[in-house]
Amino acid sequence: MNRLSPNTKIMKFKTFIKLSALAVVLCSSIVGCRKGLERTTPLQGRGVGAVSTPDIGGPILPGKTGDDTIKPVNNDTAKVDETVKPTPFPTPPAGDPNKVVPLNGALSTWGAAADQPFKSDTVYFDYDKATLKQGEVSKVERVAGGIKGLAGKALRIEGHCDERGTEEYNRSLGERRAMAVRESLMRAGVDPSLIDTISYGEDRPADPGHNEAAWSKNRRGEFIVIEPPGASTSK
Amino acid sequence: MKFKLSRLTARGGRPSSPGPAGATIVISILVALSPAPGLAQQEIIISKDFDPNGWPKPIPVSISGFSGEVDNVLKTDLLFMGIVNVSPESAKYLISGSNAGRVEGRVVERINKNQLLGKAYTGGSARSQTHALADDIAVALTHKPGIAQTKIAFKGETGRGNGEIYIADYDGHNGQAVTHDQTIVSAPCWSGHSTLYYASYKLGAPRIFSHHLTTGARKMITPFPGSNISPAVSPDGSRVAMILSKGGSPDLYVSDRDGGNLRQLTSTKEAESSPCWSPDGQSICYVSRERGPPSLFVISASGGGPRRILTNGAPNPTEPDWSPDGKWIAFTSLMGGFQTCIVKAQGGDAIVIAPGEDPSWAPNSRALIFSRGPDHSKKLSLLDVPTKQVKDIARILESNSQSQPSWAK
């Protein structure tokens, strides 16, 4: 309150000064206004077809004059350069199941198999957590046992989130969840070079609702059996 | 009542006498708290032109002579550059003009009638002429480049979580899709004004692409297994920060613009996410769950130990964006709902600005664009940070949810 009072005084003082100045200027302002109009600086148009742009204006897209000269983005001609090849998979370190193990790039091209026996083994996570709940471990162990009987196949773990985080945060959290499941599979004896991961963040909810009932179904890790390209068609 | 001016200091210049932007007059006044002599006196510093957080206070102008769309566009443009329309008697500057045929505008100091600007604009649309006028006014009054002719990129959902990357004028007009991938796309980021980086699931898993807008050519820069997400291009365009999980956990990496020279900056078992660059290109701010709930960290772009950035009062910070002037980091706090917040770049007490998420700074370090609304029906809005004024931008008609805006710097 001590500060408020002097401030108010100053404001009044400043207002007084301003008003005094205003009074002085006001007399000449009517004349000045007309005068101002008469001595308008020559307008700086730049000729037909060009918007006059400032020398230090905001950045503009390629093209000489900004807004209207953006070339159409022709996505039909967009080329995806895939010349960069995945790095070879390093030998998984033996022993320590808690060690972070690199992903096997060779699995990236593998697609979902026709048969998906682990649909009912989806594991669920607590809000904003990426650790596997104790109650979910039995599902992982069942999957670990099952995948060992599927020769030539591998697993892709899909990590998902509910909608309550921001998008990129959830994309990372979903990947971390998938990796927690992968590590649990490793502890159950599955070769890590046979486990791929993908995160869909919050983009593929199992339940589109906006309540805890839906969210609890969406914080999940799904087990997808994958196989090399062409494996299904050769059946 | 006695007022004693102990010191009157004028630093820098005023718009009428060209000087550095942000010039101010600091008046230090000794105020007698009581008529009785000998009592304590208090020194009060009044910063006339800056608010307590250091932003220039809105410059009062009176706008007349324009009509319809031009009038609306001009007032909106100026609002997000710190120039606000008031009544003529409260205005410091008078902005007059017309839009009969072509947009013309003139800026005059109200008191002394000194003319600061007089221009006419031809070609393009009335809207683009108005943006050009607004930027000229901003330069004349704030000595800073305007933002009215800048571009944004964003993600537009097209159904079931799929989306495309779009670009548009900063106010949402003239939007167009730059991808037609019909899959999940995310996190567009500008490199200069003609290239976008973003992640797309077009090849199955999320990969980072660079996409040249004028040629349409795009290149996958990260072919790694797992997540290749959240690209952030350094201010000079030479490097890209990103999140990769190829090593077995989502970690922060940095590479050259083409993906070469890849270097891992973090190696936590927990998830890192959403990096952004300091304007000098020396540091990267990112989010880590290393200590449980998400926190902001800053790490040298050349490696080293991370330093935590405190966001007191704004828990669970994610999606940071460093202001181009280096002073602030904008971010999203999750406290019940999403809140767009800012904190000084060194960390400290956060300021909650408005409900919404994923802010991106304008080149003028004053305005933000962010998204708000429930999932799958988000809209993009502009925010004048010092005054907390918010305005929705035009929507993309084929998309019912727009998010992840990135403002071209």
pLDDT along chain A (235 residues), means of 10: 44 49 41 35 34 34 34 42 45 55 94 96 97 96 95 97 96 98 96 97 94 97 96 59
Residue B334: closest CA among chain A residues belongs to which residue? A165
Residue B120, class by beta-carbon neighbours within 10 Å (0-12 exposed, 13-18 middle, 19+ buried)?
buried
Residue A128: closest CA among chain B residues belongs to which residue? B293
Quickly count: other Cβ atoms within 10 Å of residue A32's Cβ.
Answer: 18
Q: pLDDT class for B201, splitting at 50, 70, 90? A: very high
B397 against B240, higher pLDDT: B240
DSSP-based three-state secondary structure for A129? coil
Residue A56 is predicted with a pLDDT of 30
Q: Cβ contact (<8 Å) for A81 and B112?
A: no
Contacts of A84 in chain B (CB under 8 A): 220-221, 223, 259
Contacts of B155 in chain A (CB under 8 A): 167
Helix B126-142 with B68-79: angle, nearest 10 deg: 30
User: In the numeric block, which tokens belong to residue A217?
Assistant: 């179904």
Residue B403 is predicted with a pLDDT of 97
Separation in Å, CA of A192 to nearest CA in chain B = 10
Q: Cβ contact (<8 Å) for A67 and B149?
A: yes
Of B112, B122, B227, the CB nearest to A172: B227
Contacts of A102 in chain B (CB under 8 A): 246-248
User: In the numeric block, which tokens belong to residue B324?
Assistant: 């181009």
Full-model pTM: 0.80
Residue B398 is predicted with a pLDDT of 86
* pLDDT tens sequence across B3-16: 333 333 333 333 33
Separation in Å, CA of B380 to nearest CA in chain A = 15
User: In the sheet that B379-384 helps form, which strands lie side by side, from edge to edge?
Assistant: B357-361, B367-372, B379-384, B389-392
Contacts of A107 in chain B (CB under 8 A): 225
Contacts of A36 in chain B (CB under 8 A): 108, 113, 115
Q: Cβ contact (<8 Å) for B122 and A51?
A: yes
Q: Cβ contact (<8 Å) for A66 and B124?
A: yes
B9 bridge partner residues: B26
Of B146, B174, B403, the CB nearest to A67: B174
Separation in Å, CA of A114 to nearest CA in chain B = 17
| Mutation choice for A interface testing from B33, B113, B212, B244 by most A CBs within 10 A | B113
B311 bridge partner residues: B348
- Residue B288 φ then ψ, to 5°: -135, 145
Q: What is the ipTM of this complex?
A: 0.88
In terms of Cα–Cα distance, which of B370, B230, B218 is closest to A201? B230
d(CA B267, CA B318): 19
Separation in Å, CA of A130 to nearest CA in chain B = 8
- pLDDT exceeding 70 applies to what percent of chain B? 89
Q: pLDDT class for B292, splitting at 50, 70, 90? A: confident
Contacts of A226 in chain B (CB under 8 A): none
d(CA B406, CA B409): 9
CA B230 to chain centre: 18
DSSP state of A75: G
CA dihedral B106, B110, B114, B115 (to 10 degrees): 0
User: In the sheet that B3-11 helps form, which strands lie side by side, from edge to edge?
Assistant: B3-11, B24-32, B41-47
Q: In whole angstroms, how large is the CA radius of gyration of chain B?
A: 23
Residue B47 is predicted with a pLDDT of 62
Q: pLDDT class for B32, splitting at 50, 70, 90? A: very low
Residue A32: closest CA among chain B residues belongs to which residue? B113
Inter-chain CB pairs, A–B, below 8 Å:
326
d(CA B272, CA B223): 19
Quickly count: other Cβ atoms within 10 Å of residue A178's Cβ.
Answer: 28
Contacts of B365 in chain A (CB under 8 A): none
* pLDDT tens sequence across B294-331: 999 999 999 999 999 999 999 999 999 999 999 999 99
Q: Spell out the SS3 assignment of chain B.
A: CCEEEEEEEEECCCCCCCCCCCCEEEEEEEEECCCCCCCCEEEEEEECCECCCCCECCEEEEEECCCHHHHHHHHHHHHCCCEEECCHHHCCEEEEEECCCCEEEEEEECCCCCEEEEEEECCCCHHHHHHHHHHHHHHHHHCCCCCCCCEEEEEEEEECCEEEEEEEECCCCCCEECCCCCECEEEEEEECCCEEEEEECCCCCCEEEEEECCCCCEEECCCCCCCEEEEEECCCCCEEEEEECCCCCCEEEEEECCCCCCEECCCCCCCEEEEEECCCCCEEEEEECCCCCCEEEEEECCCCCCEEECEECCCCEEEEEECCCCCEEEEEEEECEEEEEEEECCCEECEEEEECEEEEECCCCCEEEEEECCCCCCEEEEEECCCCEEEECCCCCCCCEEEEEEECC
d(CA B190, CA B38): 62
* pLDDT tens sequence across B155-179: 999 988 899 999 999 999 999 999 9
CB B230 within 8 A of CB B187: yes
CB A121 within 8 A of CB A168: no
Residue B397 is predicted with a pLDDT of 83
Separation in Å, CA of B36 to nearest CA in chain A = 15
Residue B336 is predicted with a pLDDT of 86
Separation in Å, CA of B302 to nearest CA in chain A = 22
Contacts of A41 in chain B (CB under 8 A): 106, 115, 118
Contacts of A13 in chain B (CB under 8 A): 3
Contacts of A175 in chain B (CB under 8 A): 226-227, 245, 250, 271
Residue B128: closest CA among chain A residues belongs to which residue? A67
Of A40, A101, A172, the CB nearest to B118: A40
CA dihedral A115, A116, A120, A124 (to 10 degrees): 180
Beta-strand relationship, B295-300 and B307-309: antiparallel
In terms of Cα–Cα distance, which of B238, B266, B239 is closest to B252? B266
Q: Cβ contact (<8 Å) for A172 and B408?
A: no
CB B148 within 8 A of CB A45: no
Residue B7 is predicted with a pLDDT of 34
Residue A96 is predicted with a pLDDT of 55
CA dihedral A17, A22, A24, A26 (to 10 degrees): -170
DSSP state of A193: G
Q: Cβ contact (<8 Å) for B318 and A169?
A: yes
* pLDDT tens sequence across B99-147: 999 999 999 999 999 999 999 999 999 999 999 999 999 999 999 999 9
* pLDDT tens sequence across B349-398: 999 999 999 999 999 999 999 999 988 899 999 999 999 999 999 998 88
Contacts of B118 in chain A (CB under 8 A): 40-44
In terms of Cα–Cα distance, which of A176, A4, A67, A18 is closest to B33? A4
CB B236 within 8 A of CB B188: no
Q: Cβ contact (<8 Å) for B186 and A201?
A: yes
Residue B106: closest CA among chain A residues belongs to which residue? A40
CB B271 within 8 A of CB A130: yes
User: How far apart, in Å, are the Cα atoms of B51 and each of A180, B24, B58, B279, B368?
Assistant: 48, 11, 9, 23, 18
Separation in Å, CA of A150 to nearest CA in chain B = 22
In angstroms, how far apart are the furthest CA atoms of chain A?
A: 97
User: How far apart, in Å, are the Cα atoms of A230 and each of A111, A151, A235, B111, B206?
Assistant: 9, 15, 9, 79, 22
CB B113 within 8 A of CB B93: no
Instruction: Cite the DSSP H helix spans in A41-129.
Output: none
Residue B349 is predicted with a pLDDT of 97
DSSP-based three-state secondary structure for A20? helix
Of B33, B229, B334, the CB nearest to A171: B229
pLDDT at B399 over 60: yes
| Mutation choice for B interface testing from A26, A40, A125, A166 by most B CBs within 10 A | A166
Separation in Å, CA of A20 to nearest CA in chain B = 12
Contacts of B193 in chain A (CB under 8 A): 59-62
* pLDDT tens sequence across B53-111: 889 999 999 999 999 999 999 999 999 999 999 999 999 999 999 999 999 999 999 99
Quickly count: other Cβ atoms within 10 Å of residue B61's Cβ.
Answer: 23
